[in-house]
Structure formats: structure tokens, C-alpha cells
């Protein structure tokens, strides 16, 4: 298990795609520990509106992967078309990593789908903000807890193009529950992670006014 300071944890929790260990199962108890940490996240009015669907069954993973790949193919084609037929080198590297994960999506050891009670798209803006603010913080806490335990995650959302179909696979009531994302989860290979390149901080801070 990595021995990380809080700052190291927060600055090195990267999306893991090509370095995911597809062969090594993740014990249910470890996944349960990560969900327990996630449930300590802040939540609007302490409503705790979350549910976590953890998918390790091969047949269900394969069924979800089919919808994910269909969505990814359309998304990737749109990006290439928008770029005029060719991606810049940095975007191409990211696309290669994303394609690798999409093609092996059915092999990921665990899929974790943080859900929130209610259909957020049917709420007024402030209600949507409260719902997303609650579930996104819980999802990110899951990613941090996983990193602290030597697991890698990747926050994905493309399956939501077919949210209703995935809900049917998993027995989720589409009309009553919103899926927020899908966190691919597994042990990672190789060494540790470094902070990612980011813009100059002073160019992104606005003191007192924009």
C-alpha cells in the first residue's frame, strides 16, 4: 500500500488506463473499504443520496462494455472530425490511452457506478447542483481511497449515452436513480505517479473579482 502524504495523494491520483492490471482481481473487502471512505464525503443537507453499484460479474461487465464501446466509437469519430481529420500529438496520446481502455473495458476487474437518488435532469438548477455536488465528491473520495490502497481508477462517463440500457442490465430504476459516472477500478502496474502538467497558477486565480 503506498505511503502517501495528503498532498501526494491529491496530486498523484491519475486516470489509469494502460497501466491497469487486468489480470488481478480486487477483493470485495478492499472495494467495500473504498466505498466506506466515499460515504464520508460532504453531502448537501447531509442527505446522503448515494448508492454504489459495484460490478465484478463478467457477464454484466461484458454487457456494459458493449454500450461503452459503442459510445466511445461515436465520440472518437466526432473528435477526429472536429480536428479536421488529424489530432495534435498530445491529444493523440490521450486518444490512444482512451482507446486502449475502451477496447479492454470488459476486462477491468471492477466497475463502480456512484448513483444518486432521483433524476437530476428533472430538478431545478439549484437542485441539480446539490445532487451533483454530493455524488461527485463521493466518487472522487472513492478514487482517492483506491489510490491510497494501491488501486488505479479512471473516471468515465461515456456509458451514460446509454444510461437507460445500463440501468436495465444492473436492475437500476432509471426513473428513480441517476448514474453519475463509471469508475474502472483495479490494481495498477509499474511505478508510482507524478503530478500532471497544469497551467500557471497565477493565470488561474482571480483575487476578489474576475
Considering the chain, what percentage of its residues have pLDDT values greater than 70? Answer: 99
Across the chain, mean pLDDT equals 93
Could you read off the pLDDT of 122-167 as tens digits, one per residue? Answer: 999 999 999 999 999 999 999 999 999 999 999 999 999 999 999 9
Could you read off the pLDDT of 9-25 as tens digits, one per residue? Answer: 999 999 999 999 999 99
Estimate to the nearest angstrom the gap between the alpha carbon of 14 and the chain centroid: 11
Measured CA to CA, the distance from residue 149 to residue 80 in angstroms comes to 37
**Radius of gyration of the chain measured on its C-alpha atoms:** 18
Task: Name the more confident of 121 and 191.
Answer: 121
pLDDT band at 94 (very low <50, low <70, confident <90, very high): confident
Task: Name the more confident of 20 and 76.
Answer: 20
Write the CATH number of the domain with boundaries 21-80+103-191.
3.40.109.10
Q: Partners of 51 in the beta sheet?
A: 115
Nearest in space to 114 (alpha carbons), one of 62, 43, 19, 8: 43
The torsion defined by the Cα of 111, 194, 38 and 41, in degrees rounded to 10, comes to: -140
Nearest in space to 35 (alpha carbons), one of 145, 173, 188, 156: 145
pLDDT band at 2 (very low <50, low <70, confident <90, very high): confident
pLDDT at 167: 98
Whether 77 has a pLDDT exceeding 90, the answer reads no
pLDDT at 85: 66
Return the SS3 of 105.
helix
pTM: 0.94
Could you read off the pLDDT of 37-56 as tens digits, one per residue? Answer: 999 999 999 999 999 999 99
Amino acid at each position: 500500500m503506498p505511503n502517501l502524504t495528503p498532498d501526494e495523494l491529491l496530486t498523484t491520483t491519475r486516470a489509469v488506463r494502460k497501466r491497469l492490471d487486468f489480470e488481478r482481481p480486487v477483493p470485495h473487502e478492499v472495494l467495500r473499504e473504498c466505498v466506506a471512505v466515499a460515504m464520508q464525503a460532504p453531502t448537501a443537507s447531509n442527505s446522503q443520496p448515494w448508492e454504489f453499484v459495484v460490478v465484478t460479474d463478467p457477464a454484466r461487465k461484458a454487457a456494459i462494455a458493449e454500450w461503452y464501446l459503442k459510445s466511445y466509437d461515436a465520440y472518437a469519430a466526432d473528435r477526429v472530425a472536429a480536428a479536421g481529420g488529424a489530432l495534435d500529438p498530445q491529444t493523440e496520446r490521450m486518444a490512444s490511452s482512451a482507446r486502449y481502455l475502451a477496447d479492454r473495458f470488459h476486462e477491468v476487474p471492477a466497475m463502480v457506478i456512484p448513483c444518486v437518488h432521483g433524476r437530476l435532469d428533472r430538478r431545478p438548477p439549484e437542485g441539480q447542483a446539490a445532487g451533483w455536488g454530493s455524488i461527485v465528491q463521493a466518487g472522487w473520495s472513492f478514487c482517492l481511497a483506491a489510490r491510497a490502497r494501491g488501486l488505479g481508477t479512471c473516471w468515465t462517463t461515456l456509458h451514460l449515452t446509454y444510461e437507460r440500457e445500463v440501468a436495465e442490465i444492473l436492475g437500476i430504476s432509471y426513473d428513480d436513480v441517476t448514474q453519475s459516472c463509471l469508475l474502472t477500478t483495479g490494481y495498477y502496474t509499474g511505478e508510482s505517479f507524478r503530478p500532471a502538467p497544469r497551467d500557471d497558477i497565477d493565470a488561474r486565480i482571480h483575487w476578489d473579482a474576475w
